[in-house]
Amino acid sequence: MAATIDDNARKLLEEPNYAVVATLREDGSVHTVVAWQHIEGDKITMNSAEGRDWPANLRRDPRVTVTVVHRENPYEWVALRGSVVEDTHEGADEHINALSKKYIGQDEYPFRQPGEQRIRFVVEPENVVYVKQG
């Protein structure tokens, strides 16, 4: 069942805070990368490129846990556990540009590699834990 994201968690996700994206390797152990993220409604969007490990993991097992820590206060964070519900090339270039704007203030993603095919992932959280300590 889809979880609701409350206002505190929402703010954390709307701001340019980085995500640790945890996916499952073939042997069931955890693979992580640090990535950009955005919230759209009650879903999280992320962007990767064909050929990388975490898209391959998500296609084998769509389960993913996204942990976002406040960039100035590490005692405020949210962990969203859910699954990929959309995995598409469509709009993926526009999406990486929007993330680029959000995180580094550049309208066009400057790190594109020649021939790179971007992927837009949409994650529906089933469980949301928001923590603010101290």
Task: For the CB of residue 82, give the shortest distance to a second copy in the complex, in Å.
Answer: 9
29 binds a second copy, rule: CB under 8 A = yes
71, 90, 94, 106: which one binds a second copy (CB under 8 A): 71
2 binds a second copy, rule: CB under 8 A = no
5 binds a second copy, rule: CB under 8 A = no
| Phi and psi torsions of 79, nearest 5° | -115, 120
65 binds a second copy, rule: CB under 8 A = yes
60 binds a second copy, rule: CB under 8 A = no
Three-state DSSP class for 35? strand
Contact 133, 90 (CB under 8 A): no
In this chain, which stretch among 2-10, 73-81, 89-97, 112-120 interacts with a second copy, using CB under 8 A?
73-81
47 binds a second copy, rule: CB under 8 A = no
Quote the tokens at residue 12.
């954390």
Calpha distance 99→71 (Å, rounded): 16
Contact 17, 68 (CB under 8 A): yes
Q: Which residue is associated with the tokens 């073939």?
A: 26
